[in-house]
Each structure stands twice: as C-alpha cells, then as structure tokens.
C-alpha cells in the first residue's frame, strides 16, 4: 500500500467498484471499526474535515467514467443513511445513467427515520443491493460488538432487512470473523431472510 493521501476522499476505487464516503457520522461504535486504528483504506484518507455537499458529490461523480465500474457503493467511514435524502438523490442520479448502486449499512434506518418507509424509498430511487452489517447471531453479542446508539437496534435492523427484501431490493448480510461471532448461526439467519451472506474483512460499515 502506498502513502496515505491527505485530502478528504469522497470517492475511491477498489475491486472494480467505485466507493462513496459521504459521512463520518455513525449510529454505532463497533469494536472492529477501522476508524479506530486507521485513517483510511487502500491508501485513501477517509476522514472528512467536513461532509461534502450533495452538489460536490455529484460533481465528483460526473468527473468519473462511471460505466467502467461494476457498482457504485455507499460505504466508507460512517453510516451513509444518516444522509438519507442525499443517498436517495445520488442513487437516482446514478440509476438514470444506468449505474448499479449498492448501499452498505448498519441497518438502523427504522430508528433513524421512524416516520418513513426507508426501504421503499430506496427501492424507488433505484437502489439494487442493500448490504446490512448483521454482525452477530443475537442482540447481546450485537450490543457488545457494535454499541449501537439505540436500544432494540438488533431487532430493528432485522425488521429493516425484511422491509428491504419486500421492497424488491437484493439483500445481503455481512459479519466480521471474530471469536464471539457464531458464523454458522449468522449464516442460518441469512438463509431465513433469503439474504446473500458474506464474511467481510475489518473495515467500515
């Protein structure tokens, strides 16, 4: 890995995808979060000195040749859904240009926006895949690992997962391979929810 860039990184490339880092805010404080021990990934500095505006993000996107990427992915050093309205606008902008969009999320949408049907809004914007950090086989382990800002976060995350599938978006669950995580049980939960399942490396959301 080369030297870390010093500039705020909003967009970065890896694995044939283009990743979006639109916020550093989050509704959890995971023990394994890469924010705890690094300033970024793949040599990109993901700490934002300030959040980029919607127009700044669109401007940077329009400077890229987007068709060469497999997907554009909301991820990075924070929870993208804290900026739900901007996520929706950016997804619409990308979808109208024929780009496949994925969202990586901790899944607290129903707690962040109790009055809204976030899954349907995402589906309407054109979101193709929602990858939720399941992270644990039960609420206790989840709370211990993720220290969510909300009570009942685990149950509400699972409810949101159901909403995502019902809205016609492809669902994926991810976990980090840690000793307290029962990978087999998590895989079973994914099966129950008809979700893809992926064990991910340490990283952001």
Which 87-126 positions form the footprint of ligand SF4 (CB under 6 A)? 106
Identified binder of ligand SF4 from the candidate list 11, 20, 30, 153, rule CB under 6 A: 30
- Which residue in this structure is represented by tokens 């809004």? 121
Q: Least Å distance between CB 68 and ligand SF4?
A: 27
Contact 28, 63 (CB under 8 A): no
Task: Confirm or reject binding of residue 79 to ligand SF4 (CB under 6 A).
Answer: yes
Task: Confirm or reject binding of residue 22 to ligand SF4 (CB under 6 A).
Answer: no
Report the half-sphere exposure of 43 (CA within 13 A, side-chain side): 5
Identified binder of ligand SF4 from the candidate list 40, 52, 78, 80, rule CB under 6 A: 78
Task: Confirm or reject binding of residue 40 to ligand SF4 (CB under 6 A).
Answer: no
Q: 39: which residues sit within 8 A by CB, 6+ positions away?
A: 4, 45, 46, 47
Identified binder of ligand SF4 from the candidate list 20, 22, 26, 119, rule CB under 6 A: 26
Task: Confirm or reject binding of residue 18 to ligand SF4 (CB under 6 A).
Answer: no
Contact 1, 43 (CB under 8 A): yes
Q: Give the nearer residue to ligand SF4 in terms of CB position, either 126 or 204.
A: 204
- CB atoms under 10 Å from CB of 40, counted, come to 20
Task: Confirm or reject binding of residue 161 to ligand SF4 (CB under 6 A).
Answer: no
* C-alpha angle 83-157-150 in degrees, rounded to nearest 5: 75
SS3 72: strand
Q: Give the nearer residue to ligand SF4 in terms of CB position, either 92 or 200.
A: 200
Chain contacts with ligand SF4 (rule: CB under 6 A): 26, 28-30, 33, 35, 78-79, 106, 133, 146, 204-205
């Amino acid at each position: 890995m080369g030297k870390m860039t010093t500039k705020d990184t909003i967009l970065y490339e890896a694995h044939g995808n283009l990743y979006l880092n639109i916020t550093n805010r989050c509704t959890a404080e995971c023990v394994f979060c890469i924010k705890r021990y690094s300033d970024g990934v793949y040599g990109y500095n993901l700490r934002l000195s300030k959040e980029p505006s919607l127009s700044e993000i669109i401007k940077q996107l329009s400077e890229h040749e987007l068709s060469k990427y497999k997907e554009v992915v909301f991820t990075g050093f924070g929870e993208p859904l804290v900026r739900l309205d901007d996520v929706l606008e950016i997804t619409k902008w990308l979808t109208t240009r024929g780009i496949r969009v994925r969202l990586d999320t901790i899944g607290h949408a129903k707690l962040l926006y109790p009055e809204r049907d976030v899954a349907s809004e995402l589906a309407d914007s054109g979101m193709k895949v929602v990858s939720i950090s399941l992270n644990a086989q039960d609420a206790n382990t989840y709370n211990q690992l993720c220290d969510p800002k909300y009570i009942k976060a685990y149950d509400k995350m699972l409810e949101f997962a159901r909403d995502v599938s019902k809205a016609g978006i492809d669902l994926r669950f991810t976990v980090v391979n840690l000793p307290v995580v029962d990978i087999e049980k998590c895989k079973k939960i994914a099966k129950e929810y008809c979700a893809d399942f992926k064990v991910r490396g340490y990283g952001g959301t």
